[in-house]
Amino acid sequence: MSDLKDGEPEDRIINEPMSEALSKRYLAYALSTITARALPDVRDGLKPVQRRILYGMRVLRLDPEGGYRKCAKIVGDVMGNFHPHGDSSIYDTLVRLAQDFTVRYPLVDGQGNFGNIDGDSAAAYRYTEARMTVAAELLLDGLSEDAVDFRANYAENDEEPVVLPAGFPNLLANGASGIAVGMATSIPPHNAAEVIDAARLLIEKPKATTAELMDFVKGPDFPTGGIIVEPYESMLDAYETGRGSFRMRARWETEDTGRGTYQIVVTEIPYQVQKSRLLEKLGELIEAKKVPLLDDVRDESAEDVRLVLVPRSKTIEPDVLMESLFKVCDLETRFSLNMNVLHNGAPQVMGLKDVLQAYLEHRREVVVRRAQHRLDKIEKRLHLLDGYLKAFLNIDEVIRIIRTEDEPKPVLMETFSLTDVQAEAILNLRLRALRKLEEMEIRGEHKKLTEEREQLVLLLGSTRRQWTKVSKELKAARDAFDPDSELGRRRATFSDVKEVDLAAALEASKPKEPITVVLSQQGWIRGMKGHGLDTSSVKFKDGDELYLVEEVMSTDKLILMSSDGRSFTMAADKLPGGRGHGEPIRLTIDLEDSVDIIAMFRFEPERKRVMASSTGYGFVVDEKELESNRKAGKSAVNTGKGHLVCCPVVEGDMLAVVGTNKKMLIFPLSDLPEMARGKGNKVQAYSGKAELKDLITFDKRDGLIVMTGGRHRAFPEWKDWKGQRAQAGKVVPKGFPRSGTFTG
C-alpha cells in the first residue's frame, strides 16, 4: 500500500498468480506477432507493414507514371499514419520490396542505392527515392471502389485497408518469409503467369488435383534464377501438404581458354545467397585444401553475376568439379516450403490448391463488392438523370416556378413528382445546360447506364458470371507478366542431378606418394616421405622411442586400434610431416590417457581381421567395418573387463592362440563367428590370472610358422596342439619364442 501515490485508488492493484499473469501477457504478445507482424495474409500475400507502405504510397499518389518521392517522406508518412513501429523496420521493408534480386516482382520502383546481391546495404532514406510499380498498382486496383474493408489506424484519426484487392496472386508470385512465436512461414516466389494460369484452371475445374495444377505451376521461380534439381514427386508432396523443400543449384557453363584448358563461369547463384560470402567461403576452402579439384576463384561480375572457377588440372571433368563444390558451399542450397499463412484471421498451413482457392474466393468477393459499388453509383446517377429529363420535358414550367415561387423546391417536387435529391439537382443546373444538345447527351448517358445496370444486376445474381469476371480480370493481369517479357520470363529452370562418382574422382585427383607412418611410444605420429626408410635413424624426443611403423601411400587411409576396442580412421595425406617429431596422436583423435594404441595398419576394406581381447574372446570382422569418420572413433570390440590384445589379418583357415600361461591351442578359423562388432566367442580357456597373449592365422597346407630371433621357424608338429575352440590347450613346443608371442 505504501507504493501508492496520493489520491491513487486501491482498486488499481490486481492480485493474480505470477504464472497466470505471464501466460496472459505472453499469449497476447504471441498473437500480436503472428497476426500483425510475421505471417502474410493468404489473400494479398502481404504482411501489415508491406500493406501499409503500399497504401501510404497510394495516398501520396506515387503512381508508376508519376514522379519519385524521397523515401524519407514515404517512411515518415507511413510511420506517422499507419505503422508506429520505428522507421528502420519500415525502410528495410521498403528496400526489400524494391530489390529485384530479393523480390520476384518488385512492388517498389527505387531510384538510388538500394543495395546489391553482394549484401551491401541500401543508402539512408534521405538519399533514395521511390514510387510504385505496375505490380503494386495491380494489388491496389479497386481500393477506391469499396472492394475491401477499411479499419481505423492506430491513432483512430485515419483509415487503412484490412487487405488489398490483389489483382494477381502475390502470395505465390513473390513468396514470403517470417518468424513468429512458435511458428514460421517460408514461401518461395513463383512465376506469376504460371500461377494465374493455374488459378484460371481452378475456376474452370474446381476439383482439379495438385498434379493438374502443377502442369502450370512447375515449381518456384527465383529472381536470381538458378537450376532446381528437386524431384517432381518431392515437389508434388510439398505442394499438397504445404511443407517441404526445394533443392537448387547455381547455373554454370564452361569456357575454353585454349591449349586444352578451360574455366567454369557461374552466371546465376541460388536465391538469397550473398555473392561476397560465397566467394569468401570458396577462398577459405581453397586455403584449407578442402576442395582439391579447385585452384582459384575470381569475381568478374559487373551488373550480371560472373564467378570464374579455375580447375586444378585440365583433366578434371567439369561435372566432377562442380559436384565437389555443391557439397561444400552455397553453390547448392535448399529453400524450405512452409506455407503457413493467415486465413480467416488465423494461422494455417495450406497446400497449393488451398492457397489458390482462398485467393480466388477473395477475388470473387472483390468483384461482387466492386459491382455493387458501381451499381449503387449508377442508380444514383440514373435517379438524377430521370429528374433532369422531367425538367427538360417541362422546361418552361420549371423556369416559371423558379422565377415566381419564393420556395421553388417543394413546388417542383409536388408538380413533377420529384425527390428532394432530384429537385436540388435541377435547381443547381446552369443556364448553359438547358440547351437542346445537353438533353440529347442526358438521354444517351441514361441509355448507356441503364444497359450497364442490367449487366451488373445479372453479374450480382449469377455465381457463374462472377467467376467468369474473375477469370477475365486474371487474364488481363497476366499481360503485365507476359512470359515473353523480361519481367515475366521464367528464370529458374529444372534439371535432373547427374550421377557422378565423386569419391573416385577425388581419389584419382590426389597425388599418390609413398609415406612411412611412424608412431612413437609416447604417442607422437608423423608421415615421412618414401618407403624402405631406416627406422633406426629416426629421431624422437628424449625418453621416447619407435613404437609402430606402417608404409602407405598418400591416398590411403590409416586404421588405429585402441586397447579399449575402438577403431580410428586417419587420412594419410592429413598426417603431420616428417620434419620434427610430429604431433601427439591425441590432438587428432579422442583418446584417454589410460587407453593405448595397440595396432596401426593401412585400410583395405576387402580384408578380414581377427579381433582378440585379453579375456580370451574373439571374432572375425570385415576391415571395412572398422572405418570411422568420428573423432571419438568407432566401438568395434566389447573387451569386457579386459583389453584388446591383437587384430591380425586373416591369412589362412587355421587359428593359433597362446596365453600368458604359455599354453597354445590350434583350431579351425571357421569356429569363430564373423561379426561387425561385439564380444565374440571364447577362443581359449584360462585359469587364475592367465589371459590371452597372442593370436595368428595360418594355412594348414603351409603349416605354423613363427618369428623367433628375427628368423622364420616352422613347427611341423603343430597338429599335436590342434583341439576344440575354448579348450585350454597344451604347453608351447620347444623353440617357441621366449616372448610368448608368434612374432618373436
Can you tell me the distance from the alpha carbon of 57 to that of 51, in angstroms, rounded to the nearest whole number?
10
Q: Which spans in 394-462 are helix H?
A: 395-404, 408-416, 420-427, 436-460
CA distances, 592 to each of 568, 631, 673 (Å): 13, 12, 30
Under DSSP, the state recorded for 36 is I
Given 127, 154, 262, 547, the catalytic residue? 127
Determine contact, residues 233/328, Cβ cutoff 8 Å: no
Give the span between the Cα atoms of 370 and 368, in whole angstroms: 6
Cell of 660: 600368458
| Nearest to 517, CA basis, from 576, 569, 566 | 576
Which residues, at least 6 apart from 159, have a Cβ–Cβ distance to it below 8 Å? 150, 151, 152, 153
Is residue 658 exposed (0-12), middle (13-18) or buried (19+ Cβ within 10 Å)?
buried
475 φ, ψ to 5°? Answer: -65, -40
Cα separation, 97 vs 92, in Å, equals 9
DSSP β-ladder status, 227-228 and 493-494: parallel
> Are 178 and 340 spatial neighbours (Cβ–Cβ below 8 Å)?
no
User: How far is Cα 211 from Cα 235, in angstroms, rounded to an integer?
Assistant: 10
DSSP state of 37: I
**Residue 67 amino acid letter:** G
Continuous segment of H or E residues that includes residue 336? strand 332-338
Strands (E), 13-120: 69-70, 108-111
Q: In which element (H, E) is residue 74 found?
A: helix 71-81
Q: How far, in Å, CA of 620 to CA of 649, rounded?
A: 9
Pairs from 421-426 (Cβ < 8 Å, separation ≥ 24):
421/383, 421/384, 421/387, 422/383, 422/384, 422/386, 422/387, 422/390, 423/387, 425/384, 425/387, 425/388, 426/387, 426/388, 426/391, 426/398
CA distance 125 to 44: 26
CB 238 within 8 A of CB 245: yes
Measured from the Cβ of residue 275, the count of other Cβ atoms closer than 10 Å reads: 20
Question: With contact defined as beta carbons under 8 Å apart, do 519 and 547 qualify?
Answer: yes
How far apart CA 524 and CA 516 sit, in angstroms, is: 14
Q: Residue 577 phi/psi, 5° resolution?
A: -65, 175
Integer angstrom CA distances of residue 10 from 2, 242, 489 = 11, 53, 68
Judge whether 100 and 32 are in contact, CB under 8 Å. no
Query: From CA 527, how far away is CA 588, in angstroms rounded?
Result: 14
Q: Is residue 698 within 8 Å of residue 654, measured between CB atoms? A: yes
Whole-Å CA distances, 40 to 147, 361, 374, 418, 502 = 19, 17, 30, 51, 42
91 classed as catalytic: no
Task: Give residue 632's identity as a one-letter amino acid code.
Answer: A
Task: Name the grid cell of 412.
Answer: 417542383
Q: Which residues are catalytic?
A: 127
